[in-house]
Structure 1
């Protein structure tokens, strides 16, 4: 007899729990290295190709087609809107990470999510980017996130889930805490 998948919110809960147990039994399974190559095309336009990554103690070969993200600037910043600009891509990364964390953890808690969305805004002062002032930072000064969720759980349980997701989100952690970034000529 074929086993029926235990799916919740589009997530195979048994596979999710299996992954958690695999990491518990062998911590090296949790070590991942993601890779990307960004090439400048013209003006503010660039293209990033996400390369195969290392994870679960091996090189991943599941991507048969490359994943590509275009980057550009809006016309007011001398671009042609051929893609999200880099700071917009940060909002995408944060929203995507929070969404995945929310849905996966809701599934693990047997919460059925009917709809979920994140509204994100980031405040940026161009003075530092343009080299006009050192009083502001070149990156976001503040990011605001509001989430809307419709689920079969009480508000308190959703709030606890959201707090847990914030605590475990890799992208939110990178934005809230400094990390080492090495930049060097190849």
Structure 2
């Protein structure tokens, strides 16, 4: 690379923004990662703590881009509704899972529209998933514990044509990381650590 590119700069908006998205910074990001091995790596990490009953708090304190750590801090609360033994103090894990899917896809619609110069006035994604409680409650070993089907509807409107919006829709399904993660099997590796009770 002939110049040093700050990979975490894309959140800064300039005059080339469409839908609030900085196209120039995005193009600089693509340029930076294309020829430079190692710059393409993006890593996220979350840590979830039990806070009692079915409630948990997940802490996000950094991410890594191109081998560089970027500090940030957020907290996400999860709980089950009263009917499932919780206190209903936050969305439950299934709702957060679908929220993550929606948010990831929404970014895809916004960025793809912006890169085509299409201004949006409406963008909503409504997603539903249904569980059979006999599975995750252990009532029947023959019932799978998770959602077997996720249905979603995207409502989008703006200066684009129908063909452009259809092309954007296909691009989102092809490149959205969370859509990818939920639409086909991925490898999960877990490790159990037994912690001794404090004295």
TM-score by length of 1: 0.93
Alignment deviations for residues 90-114 of structure 1 (CA, whole Å, 9 cap, x no partner): 1100000011111011111111111
CA distance in 2, matches of 1:147, 1:21: 30
Match of 1:169 in 2: 176
What does 1:95-114 correspond to in 2, within 5 Å?
95-114=102-121
The structure 1 segments of at least 4 consecutive aligned residues displaced by more than 6 Å after TM superposition are none
User: Of the candidates 116, 141, 152, which is equivalent to residue 145 of structure 1?
Assistant: 152
d(CA) in 2 for partners of 1:181, 1:143: 20
**How far off is 1:136 after superposition?**
2.6
- Is contact 2:33–2:39 with CA below 8 Å preserved after alignment? yes
Tell me, in whole angstroms, the C-alpha distance in 2 between the residues paired with 1:27 and 1:81: 46
Could you tell me how far 1:51 is from its partner in structure 2?
2.4
Q: Distance in 1 between matches of 2:142 and 2:37?
A: 43
| 1:1-186 equivalent positions in 2, closer than 5 A | 5-61=15-71, 63=72, 66-186=73-193
The answer for unaligned runs of 5 or more in structure 2 is 1-13, 194-199
Structure 1 gap ranges (5+): none
Alignment correspondent of 2:7: none
Superposition TM-score, scaled by structure 2 size: 0.87
Aligned residues: 180
